[in-house]
Chains A and B, each alone.
Chain A
Amino acid sequence: MKPRPLAQDKSRYKVLTRRTLMLGGIQLGLVGALTARMYYLQVLQADKYKVLAEENRINLRLLAPQRGRILDRFGVPLAVNQQSYRVVLVAEQAGDIDSTLNAIGTLIPLGDNERHRVLREIKSKHSFVPIVVRENLSWEEVARIEVNVPELPGVQIEVGRNRYYPFADRTSHITGYVAPVSEKELTGDPLMELPDFRIGKSGIEKSMDLELRGTAGTSQIEVNAFGRVVREISRDDGQPGQEVATTLDMALQDFTMRRLRSEEAATCIVMDVVTGEILTMASSPSYDANSFTHGLKASVWNALNTDPHTPLYNKATQGVNPPGSTFKPVVAMAALDSGVITPDFRVNCPGVFTLGDHEYHCWRHGGHGTLDLHGGLKNSCDVYFYEVAMRVGVDRVAAMAHRLGMGELTGIDIPNERPGNIPTRAWKLKKFGVRWVDGDTPSIGIGQGYIAVTPLQLVTMLSRIISNRALVPHLERQPGIMEAGKPFDPDFGAKDYPSLGFNPAHINAVLSGMNAVTNELGGTAYGARITDPGMEMGGKSGTSQFRQITAAERERGIKKGEQLPWKDREHALFIAFAPVGNPRYACAVFIEHGIAGGKYAAPIARDVLRECQRRDPSRRVPPDPLIVADAGAASTPDKTP
């Protein structure tokens, strides 16, 4: 006997059965559709897909954008791109990496280090990204590999572009250099993994890296099962990087770098006092930025790093030292501006300044007699400035120094600038936990003690005194990027800097004292004056003591710096401006262990400022930048005699 379902369950069950059958029918239909689709793909279209599978595979390749060039103010290229050939390996297509590397090794020399680097990169990068096996192949090597490419799956020759610095070591501290992206710098952006790709590691290459870089292009290519390119389907070249025009006058830079070779280690900067543009920033010795492009050899790197002349340092922005007497104009401005002295303020110099039981000597043992500010600057009289410093006080000197851009970053548009230090009462208490005592102040007057500034700060300070405006030194021309065909505004920036509000009479008093340094008989740098009419310079010498000649050395008869080993000599400094009547250029020279500013640094300033005025880069109308840039790429710019 069958059980009788309830009536309502029976109707429910009937509906369910019917609906299940309908659903089953639909499902059967869908399975039929799947089978039909399989038939279509795997039987009807099988040949087409077999061809696609065996021969044509679509690959996406990233194209590194052309890096923007770096130019000088007249369009002379300082950094360009050169073609080069390299052999790359695509791990995904290579199959057995070891045997492929062995095969390459029989064609071109391949060291163990390179091998390990390739294997390491294969692990850390996407498998479709080509990995450089060797760069800068000779033509012969290119040919040898090209011939054997059919037996080398995943191996290709690529044409790449190398960064090239035509002036090599003469611009390295400004342009900086580019180098392969380190594993730490990988951001996951596939562009960073490209073998072509270099990023700026210092100088303008670093500070303007994003602008110079451009955006990546892509290439869609069909590749066969062995990784050979069958054809390119489409290509988007991306955006090349923008060109960056600098404020540099390459001819002057070149002249300056050559001039500095007479010294073991020195720097010289020329700044336009109207615009704040850096026309020259030479730091010597230097290094060849080209050598970084392919990764530096350890031995070369070690040599650069351990060289006592610190070629890797940009001495202009990174070298901090006491400014010595070149600081005296700052002390004078502080005293004049705060009303403590007038230009007529007189001090008698007996050769020594006494404070309590302490004696502070003037550089001239016999003393200078009675001097006013003019004489104090002209003779660089230490006693005069001990006295002035005592009257002004350290804090007002420090305030003036900061107003003139010292003891802090100037804000120049290349990386790794150092701020130096300008001491105050509060600073000493915080730093050493000891109060400022009166005995600390006299040495401030002559730029010694705790003061440390960069040569760039010195030239900024002088430019600010001359222009009475808060100039910011910069290397980048106009707001960043040069647009093709657009002429430069020769006085760009001239109107943009805030006034410092000095009394023009005070500025004149200081500049007239500096004029006397070079142009009046008896001035400390009279021997280094410019005699060309209309080009005369004013200046201030400085010698930075970081060590006194010891009593023992005195006994051995060493009286002059020249007799000491290089490392033990004092630094020589000179700051200068020209032309004296209507200053346009300010210059700072710093010679490491250069002995005496007036004697050794001033002649460099003289030569550079004379050359600068002869060329007058700030007033010369720049020619069409594109035309000059093209010409410059083909030939080196004119050399100065």
Chain B
Amino acid sequence: MSFGAERGHTPDFAEKLRSINWGLIFLLSAIAGIGFMVLYSAANASFDPWASKSMIRYAISLALLLGVAIVDIRFWLKAAYPIYVVGLVLLVAVDLHGRTGLGAQRWIELGPLSLQPSELMKIGLVMVLARYFNTRTVEEVGRPLHLLYPLLLLLVPAALVMKQPDLGTAMMLVMSTGGIFFLAGVRLWKFAIAIAAGAGLVPIAFGFMRDYQKKRILTFLNPENDSLGAGYHITQSKIALGSGGMWGKGYLQGTQSHLNFLPEKHTDFIFTMFAEEFGMAGGCVLLALYALVVAYGCAIGLRSRNHFGRMLALGITLNFFLYVFINTAMVMGLIPVVGVPLPLISYGGTAMLTLMFGFGLVISVYIHRDVRINRRGESES
């Protein structure tokens, strides 16, 4: 091992390029490639309107990923708060004059782009939490007072997202923060108390929910009750998925999705369409690809010698996993329908861009794995 590594080695540009995780990028590209195929099928064997745009977005996102990856990890440490604050400002802006889609204000128009700030906030929150826990020892994490500040970091954006209203994203923020707390070493019994308290708050929160959100939850509990209204999506999704069988109906052969019985087949329900055409076999392959990405991310996190990098890589990977799990569990009828896209496959610009940005950070963590950062956020020599 070189002497430089011992001091907290900062790699030069050539070293950076060499240490990029091409394997991870290959996995991501494979998943995105499956995405293009499914979008092509969703548009009835046509690149328009989804597959072509998605490919362009992926190319742009990939360039972004590489750019983010070679930027020094200490820069991202410093950028954590600015990014978080920009995310907050955009969330407030969306609240003030965002575009309303499907009954909720989620998008903001920036020229030709329509941006969904809640997506950006998912990364921003992980960044500030990683930075915060970089400054805390295990003993400090054990004291409840030290958890108040990170809780505040969570609650402000979560409240703004709830206001949109976007229950799914708010839940995602809460869960990824919980995951980071867990990784930071918060005692398990504290989680037990928080979950118990949360359960106690459910009836109260239920009173604050919009009617359509209540309906979704009630429908999930008893889908037969409303098989043509809110339960329609999930019933049709299960029929499409189940009728795919072990080996699927074949590419471009999904009857349910092509006959439009399946709603939102290019966004939230895209996994259903994939599983209808490629069966359980295809579904398992896709899940395995996702699992490999998660494993890769965890390995990178554990490999880092600075706590910020570890928390960042693990936090982003956990977020990714939550996306995959919530989306697939939803279309299989395991959890209520919430609007969470399937990473790299669902049609949607902001989600793809922020996800690739996140993995750019993960690779940056890997490239700068030997950089030491002390508790004050300075590199150690």
Question: Which A residues are within 8 Å of any B CB, using their own CB?
Answer: 1-3, 5-6, 8-9, 11-13, 15-17, 19-20, 22-24, 27-28, 30-31, 33-35, 37-39, 41-43, 45-46, 48-50, 52-54, 57-58, 60, 92, 127, 220, 225
Contact = CB atoms under 8 A, between A and B. Distances in A.
A410 to B, nearest CB: 45
B29 interface: no
A20 B243 contact: no
B185 A16 contact: yes
A96 to B, nearest CB: 13
User: Which A-B residue pairs are the 4 nearest by beta carbons?
Assistant: A49-B242, A53-B243, A42-B280, A15-B185
Contacts of B1: 1-2
Given A6-B374, A41-B241, A58-B232, 10 more contacts: A2-B1, A3-B7, A8-B137, A12-B137, A16-B185, A19-B183, A28-B291, A38-B283, A52-B243, A220-B228
B272 to A, nearest CB: 10
9 contacts: A3-B7, A12-B307, A17-B302, A20-B314, A23-B182, A23-B183, A33-B329, A49-B239, A58-B232
Contacts of B314: 16, 20, 23
B275 A42 contact: yes
Contacts of A49: 238-239, 241-243
B246 A43 contact: yes
Contacts of B105: none
A23 B318 contact: yes
Contacts of B235: 58
Given A3-B5, A5-B305, A42 B245 contact: yes
A38 to B, nearest CB: 5
Interface string B281-304: 001100100010011001001100
Interface string B169-185: 00000000001001111
A42 B137 contact: no
B305 A50 contact: no
Given A8-B137, A58-B228, A225-B255, A42 B287 contact: no
B238 A41 contact: yes
A34 B332 contact: yes
DSSP majority for the A interface? Answer: helix
Contacts of A37: 329, 332, 334
B138 interface: yes
Contacts of A19: 182-183, 185
Contact of B242 (A23, A41, A127): A41
B37 to A, nearest CB: 19
B138 A42 contact: no
Contacts of A22: 182
Instruction: Kindly state the interface size class of chain B when it binds its partner.
Output: 35 or more
A42 B333 CA distance: 13
A23 B179 contact: yes
A17 B311 CA distance: 11
Nearest to A3: B6
B87 interface: no
Contacts, number: 137
B259 A39 contact: no
A53 B332 contact: no
A8 B294 CA distance: 27
Interface of B: 1, 5-7, 137-139, 179, 182-185, 227-228, 232, 235, 238-246, 255-256, 259-261, 275, 279-280, 283-284, 287, 291, 294-295, 298, 301-302, 305, 307, 310-311, 314, 318, 321, 325, 328-329, 332, 334, 372, 374-375
Given A20-B298, A52-B243, A38 B182 contact: no
Contact of A43 (B245, B260, B328, B334): B245
Contact of B332 (A13, A17, A41): A41
A22 B139 CA distance: 20
Contact of A12 (B138, B232, B244, B283): B138
B283 to A, nearest CB: 5
A52 B238 CA distance: 10
B138 to A, nearest CB: 5
Contacts of A5: 305
A287 to B, nearest CB: 43
Contacts of A15: 138, 184-185
A324 to B, nearest CB: 62
Nearest to B245: A46
B328 A53 contact: no
B294 A42 contact: no
Given A23-B182, A34-B332, A42-B279, A54 B243 contact: yes
Nearest to B306: A9
A234 to B, nearest CB: 10
Given A3-B305, A41-B241, A31 B137 contact: no
Contact of B280 (A23, A31, A38, A60): A38
Given A9-B307, A12-B185, A19-B183, A48 B242 contact: yes
Given A20-B314, A34-B287, A58-B228, A46 B242 contact: yes
B232 to A, nearest CB: 8
Contacts of B137: 8, 11-12
B52 to A, nearest CB: 25
B262 to A, nearest CB: 10
B275 A38 contact: yes
Contact of A27 (B243, B294, B332): B294
B137 to A, nearest CB: 5
B134 to A, nearest CB: 10
Given A11-B138, A34-B332, A39-B280, A225 B259 contact: yes
B6 A1 contact: yes
A126 to B, nearest CB: 11
Nearest to B229: A60
A17 B302 CA distance: 7
Contacts of B275: 38, 42
Contacts of A225: 255, 259
